[in-house]
Amino acid sequence: MIDNLNQGIKLPDIIPIFPLKGVVMFPDTFLPLNIFEPRYLKMIDHAISNKNRLIGMIQPKNSNESDDKSIFYSVGCAGKIVKFEETDDNRYLITLKGLSRFTLISEKTNDKNFREANIDWENFSKDLNINVKSADFSTLKTTLKKYFKLKNIRANMDAIDTFNDYNFVDQITMICPLANNEKQLLLETTSISKREKLLQTILDGCISEENISDLSKH
């Protein structure tokens, strides 16, 4: 178990995990979730009964098999439940705040039918003490506008220019409809500066493919 003095909590070696295809979370980002499946309602009950209130988000590798047969990627991100609401139709609306990425060692289904994982925090220890630096995202923002336009994604283009959060890259990775393996590659990239370069490359590639596709139709 690792002490995280900045957060005032202890990072456990075993946490419940929530597998979701196409969903990644990064440290210091927020992820809203709508929980309705009975086993995951039990998972939330379990998490909020613990002081750390942690849940690990992780992507399954396979897309066709049932959840019980899923094989997971080796890296996920743990988040703390910072908002919780129970609806009249017995759903939970929660928000996770990303805390740290982790390496998956092993996992199993427990007696409450949700997955628990043995994890290692060491490879991403810097997530716990993020050095916030200002950055110029002008090139990425220009590319992002082109990407949204080509994908017919409705977005407030003017608002994009006002975003100056240090983890802008991570937030964009979470919301963009990138391929699952592309999101995973970004998640596993250690530093934000390297993630920015990788995201730029991925978006440029998508734009080039769309342009080539348009040309071939004429």
Q: Domain containing 122 — which CATH number?
A: 2.30.130.40
Q: Which of 73, 97, 126 is the last residue of a domain?
A: 126
> HSE (CB half, 13 Å, CA atoms) of 63?
5
59 and 106 assigned to the same domain? yes
Q: How many CB atoms sit inside 10 A of residue 157's CB?
A: 12
121 and 149 assigned to the same domain? no
Assigned token pair, 206: 């998508």
DSSP letter assigned to residue 21? T
117 and 161 assigned to the same domain? no
119 and 142 assigned to the same domain? no
Contact present, 93 and 76 (Cβ < 8 Å): no
114 and 8 assigned to the same domain? yes
**117/122 Cα distance (integer angstroms):** 15
85 and 10 assigned to the same domain? yes
Q: How many CB atoms sit inside 10 A of residue 60's CB?
A: 17
Q: Which of 100, 126, 152 is the last residue of a domain?
A: 126
132 part of a folded domain: no
166 and 70 assigned to the same domain? no
142 and 81 assigned to the same domain? no
**57/117 Cα distance (integer angstroms):** 11
Q: Going residue by residue through the chain, which has 218 residues, state the pLDDT in tens, using 9 for 90 and above.
A: 444 444 555 799 999 999 999 999 999 999 999 999 999 999 999 999 999 999 999 999 976 545 666 799 999 999 999 999 999 999 999 999 999 999 999 999 999 999 999 999 999 999 988 777 767 899 999 999 999 988 888 888 888 888 888 999 999 999 999 999 999 999 999 999 899 999 999 999 999 876 655 544 54
119 part of a folded domain: yes
All residues at 6 or more sequence positions from 175 whose CB lies less than 8 Å from its CB, including other chains: none
| pTM over cut 0.85 | yes
143 and 119 assigned to the same domain? no
Q: Strand 9-11 to strand 54-58: parallel, antiparallel, or no bridges (unpaired)?
A: unpaired
Q: Could you give the number of structural domains in the chain? A: 2
Residue range of the domain that includes 93:
2-126
Q: How many CB atoms sit inside 10 A of residue 97's CB?
A: 17
**108/3 Cα distance (integer angstroms):** 25
* Residue type, position 63, single letter: S
